[in-house]
Amino acid sequence: MPEMLKPPSAATLPERWRKTLFGDTPSAVVSSLLLLGVVWALWQAIRWGVFDAVVKPDVSLCRAADGACWGVLVEKARLVLLGRFPQGEQWRPILGSLALLGCVGAAAHPRCFGRVGLVLMVAGVTVFGVLMAGGILGLTPVGTDLWGGLPLTLLLAVIALLLGVPIGIALALGRRSKLPAVKWLSTTYIELVRGLPLITLLFFGAFVLPVLLPAQWRLDPMLRIGICLTMFAAAYLAEVFRGGLQAVTRGQYEASHALGLSKWQTLTRVVLPQALRITIAPTASLFIGTVKDTALVSIVNIYDLTGTLKLAMDAEWRPYSVEMYIMVSAIYLAIGLSIATYGRYLERRYALK
Per-domain residue ranges of the chain: 147-349
Question: Which DSSP string corresponds to 194-219?
Answer: HTS-HHHHHHIIIIIHHHHS-GGGPP
Rounded CA separation 230/238 (Å) = 12
pLDDT higher than threshold 80 for residue 17: no
pLDDT of residue 279: 93
pLDDT of residue 171: 95
pLDDT confidence tier of residue 4, bands split at 50, 70 and 90 = low
Question: What separation in angstroms does the CA of 120 have from each of 58, 95, 117, 328?
Answer: 44, 16, 5, 28
Output 322 or 353, whichever has higher pLDDT.
322
Q: Residues 175, 238: contact at Cβ < 8 Å?
A: yes
pLDDT confidence tier of residue 237, bands split at 50, 70 and 90 = very high
Q: What is the mean pLDDT of residues 273-281?
A: 92
pLDDT confidence tier of residue 291, bands split at 50, 70 and 90 = very high
| Type of residue numbered 148 | G
pLDDT of residue 67: 87
pLDDT of residue 12: 66
290's enclosing H/E stretch is: helix 280-293
pLDDT confidence tier of residue 311, bands split at 50, 70 and 90 = confident
pLDDT higher than threshold 70 for residue 105: yes
pLDDT of residue 156: 93
Write down the CATH number for the domain with range 147-349: 1.10.3720.10
pLDDT of residue 137: 84
pLDDT higher than threshold 80 for residue 196: yes
Q: What is the value of pTM for the model shown? A: 0.87
Q: Tell me the average pLDDT of the chain.
A: 88
For residues 78, 83, 89 and 93, what is the CA-based torsion angle, rounded to 10 degrees?
A: -90
